[in-house]
Every structure is written in structure tokens, then in C-alpha cells.
Structure 1
Amino acid sequence: MNQPVTPETPATSGDAAGTPIPAVPMLSYREPRLVAHRLQRARSARRHLRGIRIALNLMLALALLYTVTLTKALLIPLVLAAFLGLALNPIVASGARLGLPRWLCASVLMIALIVGIGAGIGMLTQPALGWFHEAPAVIRSFVPKLKMITQPLEAASRATQSLVAGQGARAPAPTQSALAFNAWDVVATTPKVLAAILTVVLLVFFFLVYGDHLLRRLVEAAPSFSYKRHAVAVVRSIQTEVSRYILTTTLINFSLGAVTAGMLWLYHMPDPLLWGAVAMLANFIPYVGAITTTTVLALVGLMNFNDAGPALLPALTFAGITAFEGNLVTPMIQGRRMRLSPIAILLWLLIWGWLWGIPGALLAVPMLTSVKLVCERVRGWRWFALMVQR
């Protein structure tokens, strides 16, 4: 006989063999609402946690920017020394492979660099000081040459003033301001500059001598052999590529400065070595450096030549040289992998120029390239390398 179904006994059914199968208990109509409510609360909690994480990351970024700005007197020599050490390390490593001590190779290299840079500064100091001292007189002689440009503007200004005021108004004569050099400012700034130079020299020397030893100690701190091997491969590849990039960029900029100096000498421009050095240093700042150097050469040409054609010819020639270098020479030598997005370069220049001034603008692109090379090999940060790549 069939067993009656009661509230205490759930209904069962049988298969073909007569085996009883327990019936599935019916869910209450409140349970789906409870599950949906819990899912909604979980999603809301995840959204709140994501918002808190974003806010904390923004606060951390602002704290880092403030710290970088506050400690720029310490970080600028350290970053500059690190880049110089990376650039010069292959030369010292080549000497070490020949059996020479690293300290001897580093000492000879640093002495040669100090002598070469000191000789270059000594050659360029006198022309630079001459331009600074003669700037007021040069500017006064340069103003009449702009009369052809300013006359239509002055006529339009007088016509506008006559229409507004009913009579011509004479503009007040501009006051001439002379450039004043305070000897006390020079004396107060010299010890800081010398201390920064000495710091960079010592850091570069110790990076060249003990850099590999420090890297070995960092690798030994890895937890396992696989991590050690991966760390060695990553560090060596980054060191090689960054040093190659810095050396290549320096040689390209030096060649650009030499070609610019020769071109200015052919055009009989004054102090071609000075403006060649300015072009070399400014080319470390992409786009902005070329525009600034072209403008400076145009002004110098207008100050030294009476006709507009010979005056603007050096600036136009330099613009053609930089266009050839930036679009053909540098991409061909460095390759596509080292090319960066112009938007990323301009944003990076804006950030580091705002934080560190002119030194930040000069170091911005090497820092961006180094960060890109590091992010390509660090898991989780490859998106940044793709964002800044051209």
C-alpha cells in the first residue's frame, strides 16, 4: 500500500526499479530576495572598497610628488649620477674583462671626464659672460631693427586710441632696465654648486666601482634560485639597454652640437662653439629644446645681421638639421622599440619640469625611457610600457 503524504514526511517517488527518490524541498519565496539582497550588498561593498583604494592611491601619488619636490636637492644629483654610472659602466666593464682593476678604470675615466668637461666649460665661460654683460647694449641696438615690424602695430594702436579717446595718445617711453649681477649671489651660490658637482662625481665613481657588487647583494636576497636567475636576467638586460640608450643619445646630441657649431661658423655667426653647446644640451629636451634653440639662433642672427635673410638663415638651417635628426637619424639608430609617444614625452616634461625645473626637464626623457624598459619586464606594469610607446 502507498504511504500517505504528511507534512512531516516529504513526498517520494520511485523509478522503474522501485527505488524511492527523495523529493526536492521547495524553496521559500523569501530566499531569492535574500540572496539578491546579499549580492547587492556585496557589490556595494566592493564599490566602496574600490573607491577607497583609488582615494588612497591618489593620496599616495600626491605624497610622493611632494616628497620628490621637497628632496630634489638630494634626488637630482643621485639620479644624474645613476644615469652617468649606467652610461659609463660598459667602458669600465670592458677594462675589467681585460684584467684591469675596476677602481683603476673608473679613476682614469673620471679624471678624463673631469678634464674634458672642465676644458669645455673654460672655453665657453668667457663667451657666455660676454653675452650676459653685453646684453643691454645688444638689446638697445636690436630694437631699431624691429622698426619695420613694430611700425604697423604702433599705427594700429594709435588709430584705436584715437577712436576711443577722440585724440591720439602718446604712449609713455619705456624704461630701460639694465641687467644687474650681484656678486654676493654668486658667492652664496658657488658652494652649493661645487657641493652638488662633488656629490655627482663621488657617486658616479662609487657606482662604477661597487655597482656590480651591490647588484650581486640584491640578487642574493632573492628567496629561490629561479627568482635569482630571473632577477639577474632582468637587471642585466635593463642595465645594458639603459646604458646603450644614454650613450647613443649623448653621441647623437654631441654630433648635433658639432654640426650646429660648424654651420654657424660657415655663416660667420659669433661664438659658434657656445651655441653648438647650447644646441647639444637643449636637444636632451625633445621638441622644446629644438624650438628654443631655433628661437635663440633667430634672435642672435637678427642682432648681428642687418638683413632679414642672412639673419634668419642659421635658424632655418638648424630647424632643417633637427628635423632630419629627429625623423631619420635617431629612429634609425635607436630603433622602434626605444621610440616614445609625443604625448607621453610632453606630459612627462611638464611634470618633471614643474617639479625640478630645468634639471628635471633635462632628465625627464632618460627617466621615462628607463621606466619604460623596466615596466616591460615587470609583471603587472606592461600596460604602462604600451601606453608610452609610439
Structure 2
Amino acid sequence: MQTSSLKNLSIPLWGLFIISLLAVLYFAKAIFVPVFLAVLASFILTPAVRLLQKLHIPRTLGSALILGIFSLVIIIAFNLLAEPASMWLDRLPTEIRQIEKKVSLFKDSIENVQETTQKFEEIAAITAPDKQPPQVVIKGPNMLYSLLDSTQSFLLGVLSFAVLLFFLLAFGDSLAHGISSLWNKRSDRAAVIGIARDARAQISSYLLLLTAINLSLGILTALVMWAVDMPNPLVWGASAMILNFIPYLGPAINLGIVALVALLTFDTPARIFLPPLALMGVNMLEGQFVQPLFVGKMFTINPILIFLSVLIWGWLWGMAGVFMAVPLLMIGKIVWDQSMGAA
């Protein structure tokens, strides 16, 4: 397979290429986020479509069935989790007083900081001139316009995701053959098809394994939260499963949320500390033993690269980029390894 002409680019041209690519990804995130999410979902769902093919179900019909089941599971999960999650969000402002009582140990320190801040403000008010320049306030779009705009973007993204996911499940193989036709030599076309096939198989295995591990973690977390008498254990199991797709940062966020809810729910120190400590034990079991045992045998990536990937994709695409950071890094590594092996 011939080396790409990109290898001959000089360092300044590489810099311009990377900057241009980041700019396109940032400003066109409304297009790219549904596309990348659909690609990742297709890697997870393609084995199920192929299983239906072995049962003599046409690929198009099987893709529609799998997409329907996948959508139904998402809708049911959202309905089950939306009510308790919104209940806690509604209760949070009224529960702030309870938090202040339970952390009254730090009350004096907080008051001292407030008094110091007020003194600085008084000094600044004395030294500042009496006349302040007029402030210019630029009014943005009203709340209704913003709500309609965000809702329209969300619905368009969901529709794009669903349609593209169906096409990837139903016609993904023909897409790889179509891309390979861009190469003139037959050996190059065969190499491209081989790289795409092997990369898709490895990525599907990784994502399926990671999803199974996170699902098991969610079930175990829900059982542990139920055992320590935390309210709505299904919510904490679901948050543990979802946030565990974000390395390092996701489990820490979930731990902080559980600690806050435990502080709001229980009165004695033992009961307050028990849920976060139990969750920490479950996370350590998964992170130190389960995931290295299974995932570590398949893929090994430097933790620094993982952290940088989370930062970059999070800056580009927000929370969606954070969730896709590690899978996208894995895809890049697999494609790179396959390309180098075929070169």
C-alpha cells in the first residue's frame, strides 16, 4: 500500500491542517456530533444485525428491528430516570439550608471570609470615583426564541442520528467497498477493505466489552446503593454506567453527586459517609481489577493521551465530546495500527 501524500507535508503545513481541522470540527459540531455518535452506535449494534442475518432476516429489516429496539430501550430508560432526577433537582434549592446545618463546622471560616470580602468592597467603594461610566447592555434573543432554537437543533440532531444509524447498519459494508474504489490499484483497494474490516471488528469488540462492563457496574452500583438505603438506587446505577464512559472525571462526578445526596438524606456521620465510600469501593474494583483484566489485554493507551483526548473533545463538542473522547481515541489507535501493519 502506497504511503499517503500527507506524510510529505512540512511542519507548518501540518500545523495549518490541524488548526483548520479543529476549526471545522468546532463550528460544524451540529453536523459532526450526530455523525460520530451514529458511527459509534453502529459499531455496537452491527453484531446484532449480523446475528439476525444468520437467522435469514434481511439486513435492511434486521437493521430496522435493531434500531427500533435500541430506541425503545433509550426511551424507557429516560422515562424511568427523568422523574427521580428532576425530583432531586427540584429539592436541591430547598435542601441548601440542611447542608448549611450539617457543615456548620466551617461556618466561622466562611463568615470570616465574607467579612474580609466586605471590607475590601468598602475600601474599593471609597477609592472609586463617584461617577461611573454608563453601561451598555446588549440584549440577546429572548428565552422563547432560545428555547425554540435549542429544541429544533436537538430534534434535528436526533433525527440525523437515527437516519444515519439505520443506513450504517443496513449498508455499512457497501460503504467500505465504495471508499476503497477511490484507490486505483487492486492491492490498495484490498488493503483498505482489510483495514476497515479489522478496525471495525476490533472497535466493535472494544465498545461491546466496555458497554458490558459499564452495565455490570451500573447494576452493582444500584444494588449497593439499595443496600445502604440510598433513595432512587436505579438513578445512581444509571449515572455510574453512563459516567463511567468518561475516564477519571466521570466516576469522580458521580461520587460527588452521591456524596451530596447522602449529605441531604442522612443525619449521622456514619450513614452520610457510607454511600460514597461504598461507591468508591465499587469504582476501585472496576477500575483496578475488572477493566484492566479484560480491556487491558485488548488495548493499552497512555493515560496522558486519554486525559488530553477528553480535554480536546470536551472543548470541541462539550459533554457529547467528553463521552466520545475515549472511543474516538481507540478508533484512531486501531486505524493507525492497522495502517502501519498494512504499509
Q: What TM-score do the two structures reach when normalised by structure 2?
A: 0.84
User: How far has the Cα of 1:83 moved from its partner?
Assistant: 0.6
> How far apart, in 2, do the equivalents of 1:245 and 1:226 lie?
28
> How far apart, in 1, do the equivalents of 2:174 and 2:168 lie?
10
Aligned to 1:352: 313
Cα deviations by residue, 1:295-323 (Å, 9 ceiling, x for unpaired): 11111111111122211211111111111
Give 1:238's match in structure 2, choosing from 194, 199, 210.
Answer: 199
Aligned to 1:280: 241
Aligned to 1:39: none
List runs of 5+ in structure 2 lacking aligned partners: 1-8, 123-142
> How far apart, in 2, do the equivalents of 1:157 and 1:214 lie?
63
Give 1:92's match in structure 2, choosing from 49, 54, 64.
Answer: 49
User: How far has the Cα of 1:93 moved from its partner?
Assistant: 1.4
Alignment of 1:167-316 (within 5 A): 186-316=147-277
Aligned to 1:40: none
What amino acid maps onto 1:335 in structure 2? G
Aligned to 2:77: 120
| Bigger Cα displacement from structure 2, 208-217 vs 91-100 | 91-100
What amino acid maps onto 1:308 in structure 2? P
Instruction: Give the secondary-structure state (helix, strand or coil) at the position aligned to 1:335.
Output: helix
CA contact (8 A) 1:77 1:196 kept: yes
CA contact (8 A) 2:67 2:166 kept: yes
* Mapped pair 1:111 → 2:68: yes
Cα deviations by residue, 1:344-376 (Å, 9 ceiling, x for unpaired): 111111111111111111000000001000110
Cα deviations by residue, 1:272-302 (Å, 9 ceiling, x for unpaired): 1112211111111100111111111111111
What amino acid maps onto 2:340 in structure 1? R
Cα deviations by residue, 1:68-117 (Å, 9 ceiling, x for unpaired): 10001100000000011111111111222332100111111111111111
Structure number, greater radius of gyration: 1
Q: What TM-score do the two structures reach when normalised by structure 1?
A: 0.75
CA contact (8 A) 1:331 1:339 kept: no
Cα deviations by residue, 1:321-354 (Å, 9 ceiling, x for unpaired): 1111112111212233412211111111111111
Cα deviations by residue, 1:235-266 (Å, 9 ceiling, x for unpaired): 11101000111111111111111111111111
> Aligned residues: percent identity?
32
Aligned residues: 313
Classify 1:156/1:188 alpha carbon distance in 2 versus 1 (closer, same or farther; 3 Å).
Answer: closer
CA contact (8 A) 2:191 2:342 kept: no
| Bigger Cα displacement from structure 2, 199-208 vs 214-223 | 214-223
Which structure's residues are more often helix, by fraction?
A: 2
CA contact (8 A) 1:142 1:302 kept: yes
Give 2:95's match in structure 1, choosing from 135, 138, 142.
Answer: 138
> How far apart, in 1, do the equivalents of 2:269 and 2:104 lie?
13
CA contact (8 A) 1:264 1:272 kept: yes
Alignment of 1:38-53 (within 5 A): 53=10
* Mapped pair 1:150 → 2:111: no
> How far apart, in 2, do the equivalents of 1:160 and 1:213 lie?
66
> How far apart, in 2, do the equivalents of 1:158 and 1:107 lie?
64
Classify 1:142/1:293 alpha carbon distance in 2 versus 1 (closer, same or farther; 3 Å).
Answer: same
Aligned to 2:58: 101
| Bigger Cα displacement from structure 2, 261-270 vs 75-84 | 261-270
Aligned to 1:365: 326
Compare relative contact order (CA 8 Å, sep 6+) and give the higher one, 1 or 2: 2
